[in-house]
């Protein structure tokens, strides 16, 4: 197995995009309880909701597998780079969920890995940690 953690110049850091996912109602009616404009953010491993914002449990279940891939840099021709709207899993529903990359955030391998020999203090226990 190749250890490519030295590709960062030896800092042990990597970056992930912060994401914002917001509800878009298209030209078809939403049959689930979706509120156009409701949103949440993804910071590292955390889903961050502002007060009063919500998302359907079923829509969230459809979105969750895609969010870690969308957090990472992808090649320009990869559909993960270009396609940003995910449909509600209910085939009768017109709602979509638009995923936007909003910023880049640096993380440390040692602060995020579960490998006991490589682990240091988790990033969320340090000052300035993502909310
Ligand atoms: Zn729906």
Domain ranges of the chain: 13-123
Quick check: 23 and 34 in contact, CB under 8 A?
A: yes
CA of 52 to the centre of ligand 1 (A): 19
Query: How far does the centroid of ligand 1 lie from the alpha carbon of residue 86, in Å?
Result: 11
Phi, psi angles (nearest 5°) of residue 11:
-80, -20
Grade residue 2 by pLDDT with cuts at 50, 70 and 90.
Answer: very low
pTM: 0.85
pLDDT value at residue 92: 95
Going from the Cα of 124 to the center of ligand 1, the distance in angstroms, rounded, reads 33
Q: How far is the CA of 29 from the centre of ligand 1 (A)?
A: 9
Ligand 1 centre to CA of 30 (Å) is: 6
**pLDDT by residue (tens digit) across 35-83?**
999 999 999 999 999 999 999 999 999 999 999 999 999 999 999 999 9
Which residues fall within 8 angstroms of residue 2, CB to CB, at 6 or more apart?
none
Residue 95 has pLDDT above 60, yes or no: yes
Question: Cα of 70 to ligand 1 centre, how many Å?
Answer: 21
What would the mean pLDDT of 82-102 be, rounded to a whole number? Answer: 96
**74 Cα–ligand 1 center, Å:** 28
What is the pLDDT at residue 59? 95
Distance 64 CA to ligand 1 centre (A): 15
Ligand 1 centre and the CA of 67: distance in Å?
18
pLDDT higher than threshold 60 for residue 4: no
SS (H, E, C) the chain: CCCCHHHHCCCCEEEEEEEEEEEEECCCCCCCCCCCCCEEEEECCEEECCCCCCCCHHHHHHHCCCHHHHHCCCCCCCHHHHCCEEECCCCCCCEEEEEEEEEEEEEEHHHHCCCCCCCCCCHHHCCCCCC
Ligand 1 center from residue 62 Cα (angstroms): 11
């Amino acid at each position: 197995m190749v250890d490519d953690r030295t590709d960062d110049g030896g800092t042990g850091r990597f970056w992930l995009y912060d994401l914002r996912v917001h509800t878009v109602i298209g030209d078809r009616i939403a049959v689930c309880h979706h509120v156009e404009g409701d949103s949440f953010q993804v910071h590292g491993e955390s889903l961050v909701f502002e007060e009063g914002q919500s998302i359907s449990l079923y829509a969230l279940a459809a979105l969750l597998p895609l969010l870690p891939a969308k957090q990472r840099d992808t090649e320009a021709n990869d559909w993960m780079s270009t396609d940003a709207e995910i449909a509600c899993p209910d085939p009768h529903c017109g709602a979509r969920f638009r995923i936007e990359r909003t910023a880049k955030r640096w993380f440390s391998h040692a602060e995020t890995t579960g490998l006991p020999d490589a682990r240091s203090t988790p990033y969320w226990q340090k000052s300035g940690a993502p909310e």
